[in-house]
Chain A
Amino acid sequence: MLRRVLTAAACLSLVAGCSLSGGGGSTPAEGDHVVTLVTHDSFTAKQETLDAFKASSGITIKQVASGDAGALTNKLVLTKSNPIGDVAFGVDSTFASRALTEGVFAEYASPEATKGAQRYQVDGSNKLHAVDVGDVCLNVDIAGLAAKGVPEPTSYADLVDPKYKDLLVVEDPATSSPGLAFLLGTIGEYGPTSWTEYWTKLKANGVKVVSGWEEAYNQDFSGSAGKGPRPIVVSYASSPSAEIGEDGTPRTKAVLGTCYRQVEYAGVLTGAKNPEDAKKVLDFLLSEQFQADVPEQMYVYPSREGVKLPEAWTKAAPLPTSPRTLPADQVSANREQWVSQWRTLVVG
């Protein structure tokens, strides 16, 4: 009897050992400079760029993906006494305040941060540095609107016009980051009290609410491969660059009067095990070389000035010039209340 138990226990530990060792793969050798970069799930970088950085600095970047911007921020807060990495990238303007209040990031004045990133600084400290800008705007299906004989909308106010009845699909701000950005945009436009009137009118005009960007863009929006029924959707300023027809003309367009600015930040973590190398990785994220890859890799705009955008972007997805913004501390203080007000009002 006991022998049976022991045999089974031995098998158990053997198999556990196999799977542990099977996970290793490309573990760096002892003595290498390794920096753990904690990111949101959308982070990607070109292998050649990472290799070039390794060749010049001797640092290997080990990436750990940690969910969306919200999940990432909360994980960093939970683990701040013993951080899961050295540098974090992907805390956005919505969550920046919380991360700073909780003391997740350490001060570091990067020499690269003065080349454009400083324009998006959060609180005057040098704890968070803008890596990219990704505006959330309405996208329209150009042919879809033309087929209905409706002009392209240019502002938030247009959408409550009966012409646009049942044409708009948005994401729930409680579950979707672009959904929240769009709500914040309307609050920036109409102010912290009258935005509710605007949404009451939007609701009366047949706005459709879905949980996430995937459903809204891929299924309800008529301008994507899903060929849905609604020609206006909340998406990103960059999305049209991916919807260019074979003849080279864009099928969709961002409505530049309806954009809300979202900035994604990086910073060195308080208590990083390898702070000196971590600073070099932060410099790298702000460097010309990395910034040039940002549009194609992550569908966002570089924070650095003077970085050339790819051709498809200059044609179909220029950076909005006058987006709405709200101060990070205001968003942080009111977000929960706004979202629950929105829920009562729109879903109710």
Chain B
Amino acid sequence: MAHARSGLTWAFAALVPLLFLGVFFAWPVLAIVHLGLRDGGLLDELTAAGTWELVGFTLGQAAASTVLALVAGLPVAFLLARCQVAGTGFVRAAVMVPFVLPTVVVGLAFRALWPDGGVLPIVLANAFFNVAVVARTVGGLWAHTDRRAEDAARALGASRPRAFASVVLPALLPAIGSAASVVFLFCATSFGVVLVLGGARYRTLETEIYLRTVELFDLSGAAALSLLQFAAVLAVLLLGGLARRRRETALSLRGKADVVRRPTGGEWGVVAAAFAVVLTLLVPVVGLVLRSLSTVDGWSLAGYRALTGTGERGTLAVSGVDAAVNSLRAATDATLLALTIGVFSAVVLVGLRRGRTPWGIGEALDTALMLPLGVSAVTVGFGYLITMDALPGDLRTSPALVPLAQALVVTPLVVRIVLPVLRAVDERLRQAAATLGASPWRVWREVDLPLAGRSLAAAAGFGFVVALGEFGATSFLARPDAPTLPIVIARLMSRPGQLNSQMAYAACAMLMVVTIAAVLLIEKLRVPSSGEF
């Protein structure tokens, strides 16, 4: 009886995030796809040989990039979650840097190493962006899992790999599954790097949908491809959901002091691998800093000095410094919004599972929250154009749409980071608290929040960084008199002139510094009660 009632309450609560998704995602996407399909042509598109090549290449490159990001990200996750080694604070921040870099800049950096582009640099560049997702998502759970089971296995004679495979890995699987599905979606919809590195030869569903929609105005072709993209994404999400299912179980979560220690023996090998990964990530970054300093006539700081101005002959509407401030403002809005929706959704998802709600509504909500990661930004953007004027205040050209659009992308990341930890909270702790007379809110505050505290900080940091680097939605919606740093960089890159080019790279360097500072700061701002545990 009590179960049934709480199940209903949770089902009702699930309507809040679903409503947000419905208005700002499903409605615009369905409207634009419907508009495209009105003219027919779906069958022609689906039976064209080129279409299936696109699907194959899209999924293939995304799968390869995901595997690579996992292989590179897991040692970093271990380092961040488990090791007391000098430099982890720096690694924690540095690993986030790729995420904010504009894709065109990263594309150019990889093209400097592979001048003719191709599949390998596409896969490497996609993995470069996504190592942080793995390190953060897996590291978030790893930092909370009890070390003693593993130690017991070792004491009983299991080798280090055996203890990892039979004790640690099963506990981490939900987070690994989460990370893998997020990375896969990011790679499947990766646009800028595929365009720069794939040239005319390698195309994905995402780049083709963009071309059809924006350049050719072939809305029916674009709609057919969007449907395919949607189907592929849904299939991947359902597979990922199956893999995660019932794996997210109670673990005995521990605080930092219990799990972090100096590495011993073979663990140093993993630590070395982690540092090697981070150094590799820094190669394109260093290349970019070098470009910000080099001119035809030698080295110069002119690009950095120019950041206080508006570019060669006033290329920009605001100075580089003002743009950085705009970036911080917009990212704060988006992070707060995404954190609120994301944590709320995660709590609802945990509650739905616990309340044994019928109809698989939990799974449905979980999948729905992830969908925005897998659907083309241009589909959503053009969908906004034909729907948002029906809302009060004509949101189509409103800057208020920027944090809303960014929140769509950040929310699933927050859910994926926080949910595994919340689900791992032992139900008995809650029951004990409730028996002692704590209200449900108090139980959440005293039990769940402290245990999930660090993953909340991680989610906030991550969300902030994603919003800082967001370009697609922002470029269409941001006020031209208040551009963010990625927009300023794109503008500078699209102009001739040595100073503009130098300033673009200097602005990238500034974006990186802002990112590192923001991540370090957010790490410090942990939920107070969880700070020291």
Contacts and interface: CB of A to CB of B under 8 A. Distances in A.
B336 interface: yes
Contacts of B501: 218, 224-226
Interface stretch (A62-70, A116-124, A128-136, A279-287): A62-70
Given A5-B9, A41-B491, A75 B496 contact: no
B337 interface: yes
A75 B344 contact: no
B502 A211 contact: no
A18 B313 contact: no
B475 A212 contact: no
A18 B336 contact: yes
A15 B200 contact: no
B9 A2 contact: yes
Question: In terms of DSSP, what is the predominant structure of the interface of chain B?
Answer: helix
Contacts of B218: 336
A112 interface: no
B329 interface: yes
A174 B211 contact: yes
A22 B476 CA distance: 18
A70 B210 CA distance: 11
B441 A7 contact: yes
Contacts of A66: 476
Contact of B502 (A23, A98, A225): A225
A68 B490 CA distance: 12
Interface string A199-212: 00000000001111
Contacts of B340: 8, 11-12, 15
A214 B493 contact: yes
A78 to B, nearest CB: 5
Contact of B333 (A8, A18, A26, A70): A18
B195 interface: yes
Contacts of A251: 296
B301 interface: no
| Residue from B104, B199, B343, B344 having most chain A Cβ neighbours under 10 A | B199
Contacts of A296: 313-314
Nearest to B198: A211
B482 interface: yes
A44 interface: yes
A19 B382 contact: no
A148 to B, nearest CB: 18
A121 to B, nearest CB: 24
Interface string B482-504: 10000000110111111011100
A267 interface: no
B151 interface: no
Contacts, number: 188
A19 B386 contact: no
Contacts of B115: 220, 229
Interface stretch (B254-262, B366-374, B394-402, B417-425): B394-402
Interface string B346-369: 010000000000000000000000
Contact of B480 (A65, A243, A343): A65
Contacts of A347: 199-201
A16 interface: yes
B345 to A, nearest CB: 10
B497 A12 contact: no
Given A3-B441, A224-B496, A224-B498, A19 B200 contact: no
Contact of B315 (A22, A44, A75, A175): A44
Interface stretch (A79-87, A154-162, A257-265, A323-331): A79-87
A235 B211 contact: no
B215 A8 contact: no
A25 B322 CA distance: 14
B111 interface: yes
A242 B215 contact: no
Interface in B283-329: 291, 294-297, 312-317, 329
Contacts of B337: 12, 15-16, 19
A212 B317 CA distance: 24
Contact of B385 (A12, A26, A78): A78
Contacts of A4: 347, 440-441, 444
Nearest to B343: A8
Given A1-B9, A175-B211, A246-B297, A64 B493 contact: no
A40 B115 CA distance: 30
A18 B115 CA distance: 46
Residue from A16, A46, A227, A239 with most neighbouring chain B CB atoms (10 Å): A16
B185 interface: no
Contacts of B158: none
Which residue of A20, A25, A82 has the most chain B CB atoms within 10 A of its CB atom? A20
Contacts of A175: 195, 200, 211, 215
A301 interface: no
Contacts of B479: 23, 25
Contacts of B490: 41
Nearest to A44: B317
Nearest to A46: B314
Contact of A211 (B200, B217, B313, B493): B200
A314 interface: no
A74 B403 contact: no
Contacts of A12: 16, 337, 340-341, 344
A19 B397 contact: no
A262 to B, nearest CB: 15
A42 B404 CA distance: 25
Contact of A85 (B104, B217, B397): B397
A74 to B, nearest CB: 5
Nearest to A68: B214
B480 A227 contact: no
Contact of B494 (A26, A42, A79): A42
A60 to B, nearest CB: 12
A217 interface: yes
Given A71-B214, A74-B213, A212-B196, A63 B481 contact: yes
Nearest to A295: B313
A343 B6 CA distance: 59
Contacts of A73: 217
A299 interface: yes
B363 to A, nearest CB: 20
B89 to A, nearest CB: 29
Nearest to B483: A65
A77 B397 contact: no
A213 interface: yes
Given A8-B340, A11-B340, A70-B214, A23 B398 contact: yes
B494 A213 contact: yes
A215 B214 contact: no
9 nearest interchain CB pairs? A242-B497, A19-B333, A23-B399, A242-B496, A225-B501, A225-B498, A347-B200, A239-B496, A19-B403
22 contacts: A2-B9, A8-B340, A11-B340, A23-B400, A23-B479, A25-B482, A41-B475, A70-B214, A77-B217, A79-B396, A84-B397, A209-B199, A215-B107, A218-B108, A220-B115, A224-B496, A225-B296, A229-B115, A242-B496, A297-B314, A336-B218, A347-B201
Given A44-B314, A296-B314, 9 more contacts: A1-B9, A22-B333, A26-B481, A65-B480, A225-B294, A227-B296, A235-B496, A236-B496, A347-B201
Interface of B: 6, 9, 12-13, 16, 104, 107-108, 111-112, 115, 195-196, 198-201, 211, 213-218, 291, 294-297, 312-317, 329, 333-334, 336-337, 340-341, 343-344, 347, 382, 385-386, 389, 396-400, 402-404, 440-441, 444, 475-476, 478-482, 490-491, 493-498, 500-502
